[in-house]
Amino acid sequence: MTKGERTMDRIRVLVWNENVEERRKPEILKHYPDGIHGALASVFGDEHDMVVSAATMDQAECGLTEEVLDQTDVVVWWSHHRFEDVPQDIVDRVKERVLAGMGLIVLHSAHFARVFQQLMGTSCNLKWRNVGESERLWVVSPSHPIVKGIGDYIDLPHEEMYGEPFDIPAPDELVFISWFKGGEVFRSGCCYVRGKGRIFYFRPGHETYPTYLNAKIQQVLRNAARWAASAVSGERRFGQQDPLEPL
C-alpha cells in the first residue's frame, strides 16, 4: 500500500479552519455554535460514504501533520484573516499532497490561502463589499457532478459580494456564476486539476451569514467532496524516452 492510499471505501474528509474569526466576531457563534469547522464537519458527518474530522490552525503543525494527511482524501479549507500564519513548509506539504492526488475544496475568503494562490500561480484577488445583499448562484454546467440535485440556481438572501475580475487562471470547468443585487457577477464555482489532484473553489460562506446551513450549499459541498476525492487516474511517464519507431 502506498502512502496515503485509502484503506476503505469511505471518503476521508478533513475540514480545516483558521478558527480566528470565531474569537474576533462572537456573532458567528449564533449560526455556528461549534465554529465554522463544526458547521462544515456536520455537512459531511451523516453521509454513509464519508468520514469527517476537523483541524484548526492553533493545533501543532496547524493540524496538518503528515500523519493526518496520510488519512485524508479531501481537505475542505476555510480561512480569512491570518493567511501568513500557515508556515511555508505546511503550505508546501499540502500542495504536494494535492499534486499527488488529494482533493482540495477552497471556500470563500480562502481565495487568499497561500496554498490556493501557489497552486493557481496568481494573486487570486477580487472585488468585495459586505452589506448583506442577496446572491444568486447560476448553474452553468448542469451535467457536472458538483451540481447534481441543485436545479438551475441557488438563492442566498444575505452574503458578502465578490466581484470580477477574479485574478485566477481560467478554470478547467466553471460550474457556477454568481450575480449580486448590487450588479456584480463572479465565477463562484471553479474546478481545476493540478498534477493528479482535483481542486474546487466555491465562493459563498462569509462568516457572519448562515450560508453553510443552506441545504443546497450543503449539497454542493458533499458533491464536491465526492468529485475531489478521487485522484486523476492514469499512469504518467516523464523524462527521456526511447523512440517507438526506428530512427
**Burial 170-186, CB ≥16 within 10 A → b, else e:** ebeeebbbbbbeeebeb
Give the residue with the Cβ less far from Zn ion, 20 or 51.
Answer: 20
> Binder to Zn ion among 69, 160, 211, 227 (CB under 5 A)?
160
Angstrom CA distances, 62 to 54, 93, 101, 220, stand at: 11, 11, 21, 26
* Shortest CB 159 distance to Zn ion, Å: 8
* Shortest CB 160 distance to Zn ion, Å: 4
d(CA 115, CA 72): 16
Among 63-71, 167-175, 178-186, 198-206, the segment contacting Zn ion (CB under 5 A): 198-206
- Please, which residues have CB within 8 angstroms of residue 245's CB and are 6 or more apart in sequence? none
Task: Check residue 206 for interaction with Zn ion (CB under 5 A).
Answer: yes
* Shortest CB 43 distance to Zn ion, Å: 18
Q: Looking at beta carbons, which residue is closest to Zn ion?
A: 206
Give the residue with the Cβ less far from Zn ion, 72 or 109.
Answer: 109
> Binder to Zn ion among 109, 178, 188, 223 (CB under 5 A)?
109
User: In Å, how far from its chain's centre is CA 98?
Assistant: 12
Task: Check residue 22 for interaction with Zn ion (CB under 5 A).
Answer: no
* Shortest CB 26 distance to Zn ion, Å: 16
Cell, residue 34: 461549534
Map residues 114-153 to x or -, x wherever contact with Zn ion holds by CB under 5 A. Answer: ----------------------------------------
d(CA 5, CA 12): 11
Cell, residue 64: 496538518
Give the residue with the Cβ less far from Zn ion, 144 or 203.
Answer: 203
* Shortest CB 162 distance to Zn ion, Å: 8
Angstrom CA distances, 197 to 31, 111, 159, 208, stand at: 32, 17, 30, 31
Binding site for Zn ion (CB under 5 A): 109, 160, 206
